[in-house]
A and B are shown apart, each in its own frame.
Chain A
Amino acid sequence: DVKVTQSSRYLVKRTGEKVFLECVQDMDHENMFWYRQDPGLGLRLIYFSYDVKMKEKGDIPEGYSVSREKKERFSLILESASTNQTSMYLCASSLTGGVGNTQYFGPGTRLTVL
């Protein structure tokens, strides 16, 4: 079974803090993704990576950056957290060339910025 783990289930931070969200997958997947989930909006793609040290902007990259130094780990960074970044953050991974581009998701991190 594919396992995607996220470092925290719940996180509370203050406005202006630098925030790191960590994601690790154990299936040697090339592709990794960060989404945020908000009620009524579904999931929106923030950034994705198709290889180590490679990254691509998703639909809502503003206010975020990412890092992928190792294949199994993909970090989302909020350089200066703001209240409008309060959300559920979901990480996913997938195999390049896999049929149907199935993505496997972690349990999510619920971030509150005060």
Chain B
Amino acid sequence: AQSVTQLDSHVSVSEGTPVLLRCNYSSSYSPSLFWYVQHPNKGLQLLLKYTSAATLVKGINGFEAEFKKSETSFHLTKPSAHMSDAAEYFCVVSNTGFQKLVFGTGTRLLVSP
């Protein structure tokens, strides 16, 4: 069985400071891992994905995530937050070759001026 735990329901940062959104996963097989972002009243947009290639994955808008198998983690980072980054972020796991995604409960990122 697969599962995802997002360790923080809310994260608050100031504009220009680093962002860290934490995600731990559990998977019986070689996982595919994703981060999706949802801006208010919008659908989900793919930020980045890991599919067993490079362990450091770069995504859109300056975000990146590192796959650490020993820690079963896939944390999302950005060096400098922007006001437009305020949104809800979902960590997602899938077994490679299968279509079903399992979503975390989400982390709401708040960015203050």
A residues with CB within 8 A of B? 4, 31, 40-45, 48, 50, 58, 90, 92, 94, 96, 99-108
Contacts and interface: CB of A to CB of B under 8 A. Distances in A.
B83 interface: no
Q: How large is the interface on B (under 10, 10 to 19, 20 to 34, 35 or more residues)?
A: 20 to 34
Interface of B: 9, 32, 34, 36, 41-46, 49-51, 90, 94, 96, 98-101, 103-106
Grouping DSSP codes into helix (H, G, I), strand (E, B) and loop, the B interface class, with mixed when no group exceeds half, is loop
A42 B103 contact: yes
Given A40-B105, A42-B106, A90-B44, A102 B49 contact: yes
Given A40-B105, A42-B103, A42-B104, A100 B49 contact: yes
Contacts of A40: 9, 105-106
A94 B32 CA distance: 14
